[in-house]
């Protein structure tokens, strides 16, 4: 296990486990629901499913249970997001809502930084078009 993997596995437990990730993702979706740019990318008839998927993905990524992969297979983030036109503006809107959600957790500075670093890089990696 690399040092990065070890740190990620510890983050899940340091921040409070599944409950913290559920809180994060629910706060995030409260902002997304009314966002005119990115709300259309989310399944309005399955917000609970979207919440489950993101929460369990993040839990697994940061060292929690492997429930996400057990039920959905490999995350394949870029493939799963390919049907959506994610431009830099959409990425920034996603980050606005995620920033507010992360801030609502009041995490220790090192934990917040580790979580945010991943979220910021992940959002950038989802950009698949520069068209408006």
Residue 25 falls inside a structural domain: yes
* CA–CA separation, 51 and 53 (whole Å): 6
Residue 90 falls inside a structural domain: yes
Residue 131 falls inside a structural domain: no
**The pLDDT value given to residue 81:** 74
Residue 119 falls inside a structural domain: yes
Q: For 84-132, how does the pLDDT look when each residue is reduced to its tens digit (9 = 90+)? A: 899 999 999 999 999 999 999 999 999 999 999 999 999 999 999 999 8
Structural domain total, the chain: 1
Q: Taking Cα atoms as reference points, which of 129, 130, 24 lies closest to residue 81?
A: 129
Residue 132 falls inside a structural domain: no
Range(s) of the domain holding residue 36: 3-126
User: Exposed, middle or buried: residue 10 (CB in 10 Å: 0-12, 13-18, 19+)?
Assistant: middle
Name residue, tokens 């670093």.
117
Question: The domain spanning residue 104 has which CATH number?
Answer: 1.10.490.10
Residue 46 falls inside a structural domain: yes
In Å, how far from its chain's centre is CA 33?
15
């Amino acid at each position: 296990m690399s040092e990065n993997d070890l740190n990620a596995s510890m983050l899940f437990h340091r921040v409070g486990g599944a409950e913290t990730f559920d809180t994060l993702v629910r706060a995030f979706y409260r902002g997304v629901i009314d966002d005119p740019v990115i709300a259309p990318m989310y399944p309005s008839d399955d917000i609970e499913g979207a919440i489950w998927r993101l929460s369990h993905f993040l839990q697994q990524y940061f060292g929690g249970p492997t429930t996400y992969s057990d039920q959905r297979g490999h995350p394949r983030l870029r493939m799963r997001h390919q049907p959506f036109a994610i431009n830099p503006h959409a990425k920034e809107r996603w980050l606005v809502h995620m920033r507010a959600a992360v801030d609502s957790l009041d995490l220790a500075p090192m934990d917040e930084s580790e979580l945010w670093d991943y979220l910021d890089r992940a959002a950038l990696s989802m950009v698949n078009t520069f068209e408006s």
